[in-house]
Chain A
Amino acid sequence: MRNLLPVLTIVTAILVIWYAAAVALNAQWVRDQATRAGHELSLPALVEATWSQDKPKLPAPHQVAVEIWQTTGAMVLAGRGFSKRSLFYHSWITFSSTALGFLLGTALGVALAIGIVYNRTMDMSVMPWVIASQTIPILAIAPMIIVVLNAVGISGLLPKAMISMYLSFFPVVVGMVKGLRSPATMQLDQMRTWNASPAQTFWKLRLPSSMPYLFTSLKIGMAASVVGAIVGELPTGAVAGLGARLLAGSYYGQTIQIWSALIMAATLAAVLVGLIGLVQRMTLRRMGMA
């Protein structure tokens, strides 16, 4: 709460800069129009015009807000909340591949981490490649993956989810390996004095100790999954999803549409990451760690 006032100030400052930038960026076009029509523009009229163009270089915040309302709330009120023009529909498409990819990535990440912690050969041979795998800019080859998977008959949700999975498994592996190794030597020795089996050590010591690390990684993984899903939608021919809206908007110069898709994607990411934060707080509190 202490930070509320400073944060609000920053947000206000961003909005002010945004409006000012909209005037600066869009003024040229307005002036050209005026010269063509052969009349002088007063300053208020210029500002007014820069904030209400159809295809501005930078739409003003209220234009984006109106567009978002028209494609979400207004459509729900009209009873068409899930039509193909609704941003809810596109968000849902993006969300479903994000969620599937995130779940697959988390499962793969946890499995690999357990293997790495318990098997020395895996630790030494796989871990460097897990790190190296992230130097391949997967987002860059997303179109190829989609096309190739399409060619072998896999289409729809799964190819996009694969990209999210690839992006989200890495933070989970790294975080979980760190977490599973976080118990102190003393605690592990104590388990040995009780002659605990490896499974008992895992369930009673290693796994609980890794929880704070897991949740931190899950947040990063979720943010990466959203990016993966959006980029995965680019080469699907701009059919559905927030990424498709971005691409379509850029084809037709519909800047307002791009910005509203962008804001929607940001909201989706924020909500999903926030949800994990909520689960994290609840879990850690029940475990007495928060």
Chain B
Amino acid sequence: MGWLIFGLLAWAFGWWINHRLSDRPATRATRLAVPTIFGITIILIWEALVRGLEISPVLLPPPTQIAVTFAAKSDILWQDFVQTVIKGALTGYVLGCGTAFLTAVAIDRFPFLKRGLLPVGNFVAALPIIGMAPILVMWFGFDWQSKAAVVVVMVFFPMLVNTVQGLQEAGAMQRDLMRTYAAGYGQTLLKLRLPAAMPFIFNGLKIASTLALIGAIVAEFFGSPIKGMGFRISTSVGQLALDLVWAEIVVAAVAGSAFYGAVALLEKRVTFWHPSQQGRS
């Protein structure tokens, strides 16, 4: 009972602070503080509910237990992180986005190809590509190579479509301007069209960053060596070791946020001139 009252108090207190804070003019500090307090409140309520209602840790372990497991099993978590995120997701991300980018630049010179590939690419980008995972695991084996392959296939089309669209972004007037300078194809591409395409390219890179992690983890459900985040999650669920599963989820969430955040930060650096980046910060 005490835990439940504590949870209720935590909720009321968190909401009250946030309400007060959000009425004040938004500064950098409040914009950071409000979601942080919200998150802490959620964790406190979670802890209180699990303890107060005596929910079995097999169903939902309390945050403190997850933290303890996280610290105790950090070597396993690190090993899984390297296997899945670094070897699988990151390799596939770089390969997939790289080939998609080069393909886009190559087909950009042929309007016929472009008109054919854009609808097909848009169509494929909406398909459940992740279903290719079992096939690719069969082709490339159980180790990280097959996971990287799944990631390549998943990120390829979103990246391709965005880059091709971005390369068409330069305005007619600006292209006329390059013409009056008698600029060649390469110069126009380098000085005008690639910079103008950057917001689209980064949009593709951001979409691809979330897909990459998902692809690498889910592909492990179809076969993997005895390490990796997907492998650990599916086997730990079988052993009802949910605290370890949750620890893996924390790793995945942190890795995912860091990955996305890094791309977004780079975007901010590169496309500082774009209207969507201004008026913030």
Scan A49-67; emit 1 where CB is below 8 A from any B CB, else 0: 0000000011000000000
> Do residues B22 and A124 form an inter-chain contact, with CB atoms below 8 A?
yes
> Do residues B233 and A139 form an inter-chain contact, with CB atoms below 8 A?
no
What residues of B have a CB within 8 angstroms of the CB of A57 in the complex? Answer: 138-139
With contacts A135-B260, A140-B252, A152-B59 taken as known, whether A121 is within 8 angstroms of B18 at the C-beta atoms is yes
What residues of B have a CB within 8 angstroms of the CB of A231 in the complex? Answer: 130, 218
Q: For the complex, give the distance between the alpha carbons of A120 and B127 in Å.
A: 37
What residues of B have a CB within 8 angstroms of the CB of A243 in the complex? Answer: 131
Mark the stretch among B26-34, B176-184, B186-194 that contacts chain A: B26-34
Q: For the complex, give the distance between the alpha carbons of A235 and B257 in Å.
A: 26
With contacts A125-B22, A140-B230, A148-B242 taken as known, whether A246 is within 8 angstroms of B113 at the C-beta atoms is no
A126 at the interface (CB under 8 A from B): yes
What residues of B have a CB within 8 angstroms of the CB of A136 in the complex? Answer: 249, 252-253, 256
In residues 57-89 of chain A, which contact B (Cβ within 8 Å)?
57-58
Mark the stretch among B1-9, B114-122, B167-175, B196-204 that contacts chain A: B114-122
Closest A residue by C-beta to B26? A124
A10 at the interface (CB under 8 A from B): yes
> Do residues B128 and A249 form an inter-chain contact, with CB atoms below 8 A?
no
What residues of B have a CB within 8 angstroms of the CB of A129 in the complex? Answer: 35, 38-39, 42
B237 at the interface (CB under 8 A from A): yes
Q: What's the minimum C-beta distance from A86 to chain B, rounded to whole angstroms?
A: 19
B68 at the interface (CB under 8 A from A): no
> Do residues B131 and A124 form an inter-chain contact, with CB atoms below 8 A?
no
In residues 207-234 of chain B, which contact A (Cβ within 8 Å)?
210, 213-214, 217-218, 221-223, 229-230, 233-234
B67 at the interface (CB under 8 A from A): no
With contacts A10-B117, A124-B30, A129-B38 taken as known, whether A139 is within 8 angstroms of B112 at the C-beta atoms is no
> Do residues A135 and B34 form an inter-chain contact, with CB atoms below 8 A?
no
B58 at the interface (CB under 8 A from A): yes
> Do residues A269 and B127 form an inter-chain contact, with CB atoms below 8 A?
yes
> Do residues A3 and B138 form an inter-chain contact, with CB atoms below 8 A?
no
Q: Is the interface of A mostly helix, strand, loop or mixed?
A: helix
Give the A interface residue count (CB, 8 A).
Answer: 61
With contacts A3-B115, A135-B260, A137-B213 taken as known, whether A120 is within 8 angstroms of B218 at the C-beta atoms is no
With contacts A125-B22, A143-B233, A265-B131 taken as known, whether A7 is within 8 angstroms of B120 at the C-beta atoms is yes
Q: For the complex, give the distance between the alpha carbons of A3 and B111 in Å.
A: 11
In residues 114-132 of chain A, which contact B (Cβ within 8 Å)?
120-121, 123-129, 132
Q: For the complex, give the distance between the alpha carbons of A129 and B164 in Å.
A: 32
What residues of B have a CB within 8 angstroms of the CB of A3 in the complex? Answer: 115-116, 118-119
A111 at the interface (CB under 8 A from B): no
With contacts A135-B210, A266-B128, A270-B126 taken as known, whether A144 is within 8 angstroms of B245 at the C-beta atoms is yes
In residues 27-65 of chain B, which contact A (Cβ within 8 Å)?
30-31, 34-35, 37-39, 42, 58-60
Compute the total of residue contacts between A and B using a CB distance below 8 Å: 163
> Do residues A144 and B233 form an inter-chain contact, with CB atoms below 8 A?
yes
Output the residue of A9, A14, A121, A255 with the most chain B CB within 10 A.
A121
B19 at the interface (CB under 8 A from A): yes
Mark the stretch among A188-196, A198-206, A207-215, A222-230 that contacts chain B: A222-230
What residues of B have a CB within 8 angstroms of the CB of A8 in the complex? Answer: 116
> Do residues A7 and B119 form an inter-chain contact, with CB atoms below 8 A?
yes
A285 at the interface (CB under 8 A from B): no
With contacts A132-B253, A144-B237 taken as known, whether A125 is within 8 angstroms of B38 at the C-beta atoms is yes
With contacts A230-B128, A255-B138 taken as known, whether A137 is within 8 angstroms of B26 at the C-beta atoms is no
Q: For the complex, give the distance between the alpha carbons of A129 and B39 in Å.
A: 8
In residues 263-277 of chain A, which contact B (Cβ within 8 Å)?
265-266, 269-270, 273
> Do residues A139 and B131 form an inter-chain contact, with CB atoms below 8 A?
no
Q: For the complex, give the distance between the alpha carbons of A269 and B31 in Å.
A: 38
> Do residues B135 and A258 form an inter-chain contact, with CB atoms below 8 A?
yes
What residues of A have a CB within 8 angstroms of the CB of B38 in the complex? Answer: 125-126, 128-129
Q: What's the minimum C-beta distance from B106 to chain A, rounded to whole angstroms?
A: 14
Q: For the complex, give the distance between the alpha carbons of A2 and B118 in Å.
A: 13
> Do residues A250 and B134 form an inter-chain contact, with CB atoms below 8 A?
yes
> Do residues A135 and B135 form an inter-chain contact, with CB atoms below 8 A?
no
A234 at the interface (CB under 8 A from B): yes
> Do residues A124 and B126 form an inter-chain contact, with CB atoms below 8 A?
no
> Do residues B128 and A269 form an inter-chain contact, with CB atoms below 8 A?
yes
Given contacts A148-B59, A259-B135, A270-B126, 11 further A-B contacts (CB under 8 A): A3-B115, A6-B112, A7-B116, A120-B23, A121-B19, A128-B38, A135-B260, A250-B138, A262-B135, A265-B128, A270-B123
Q: Closest 4 A-B residue pairs measured CB to CB?
A: A6-B116, A250-B134, A135-B256, A125-B38
Residues of B whose CB lies within 8 Å of any CB of A are 15, 18-19, 21-23, 26, 30-31, 34-35, 37-39, 42, 58-60, 112-120, 123, 126-128, 130-132, 134-135, 137-139, 210, 213-214, 217-218, 221-223, 229-230, 233-234, 237, 242, 245, 249, 252-253, 256-257, 260
- 19 pairs, CB–CB < 8 Å, chain A vs chain B: A3-B118, A7-B115, A8-B116, A10-B117, A124-B30, A127-B35, A128-B38, A135-B253, A136-B249, A137-B253, A140-B229, A140-B252, A141-B245, A143-B234, A144-B245, A148-B242, A258-B134, A259-B135, A265-B127
